[in-house]
Amino acid sequence: METIRIMLVDDHAVVRSGLSKFLLVNRDMELVAEASDGQAAVELASLHRPDVILMDLMMPVKDGITATREIHQKFPQIKIIALTSFAELSMIQGALQAGAASYLQKNVSAAELANAIRFAHAGRMTLSPEAAQELAKSATQTHMPGNELTERERDVLRCMVAGMNNNEIAQELVVSLGTVKFHISNIYQKLGVNSRIEAVKLAIEQKIV
């Protein structure tokens, strides 16, 4: 039986502990590394070259989508499963576009997760029902600038239009600076812009916020 070498990436130690115990009961899986943030994940992926990575998305230092993109570019043979508590369209699209092989939520059962790992290793995608529903919904919507923005991303964009810097936005919305940067990155991607000035200009012209 071929052993699937797995790396866990999550900033919560209790989640990593639970996942590592889950792996122990699957004889075809082996835990080779753990990381608590995206930057460490990139470094450890290079060192250990796992077959499959279970990747959280909201983490300090470097978020999971950025880490997924960097790992996928360097080691496309490594299969990355986004394993998160969120099912927002922006995160689903961001993870898949970055190179994630699958997108699951943390309420997945042990059997479903084990199958998803084996499927990813074999080159097959698995989507949580919520993720599949969000993707299907977005495919039927008429595309307009700003249509895909979540309510929180609109809040961030309003603050940007008001001239706030990232620190001020974090204070205004009571979120971390890393979360603000994550939302701004998604805003740029969805609006098809490359800078804060372009985003603000488009928001004003199209009356997005």
The structure's pTM equals 0.69
In the predicted structure, residue 2 carries a pLDDT above the cut 90 = no
Residue 106 falls inside a structural domain: yes
Q: Tell me: the pLDDT tens digits for 153-205?
A: 999 999 999 999 999 999 999 999 999 999 999 999 889 899 999 999 999 98
108 and 160 share one domain: no
Spatial distance between the Cα atoms of 2 and 4, rounded to a whole number of angstroms: 6
Residues 160, 96, single domain; the answer is no
**Per-residue pLDDT at 121:** 96
Domain assignment present for 145: no
**Residue at 146 is within a domain:** no
Give per-residue pLDDT as tens, 70-92. 999 999 999 999 999 988 888 99
Assess whether 162 and 68 both reside in one domain.
Answer: no
Is 121 found in the same domain as 186? no
pLDDT at 140 (0 to 100)? 62
- 175 and 111, same domain (yes or no): no
Give yes or no: residues 133 and 155 share one domain: no
Q: What is the pLDDT of residue 66?
A: 95
* Same domain membership, residue 197 and residue 131: no
The domain in which residue 91 lies consists of 4-138
Q: Distance of CA 147 to CAs 95, 140, 187, 190, Å?
A: 19, 12, 11, 9
CA distance linking residue 95 with residue 101, whole number of Å: 9
Asked if 208 contacts 157 with a C-beta cutoff of 8 angstroms, the reply is yes
CA–CA distances in Å: residue 22 to residues 4, 30, 39, 100: 14, 10, 24, 21
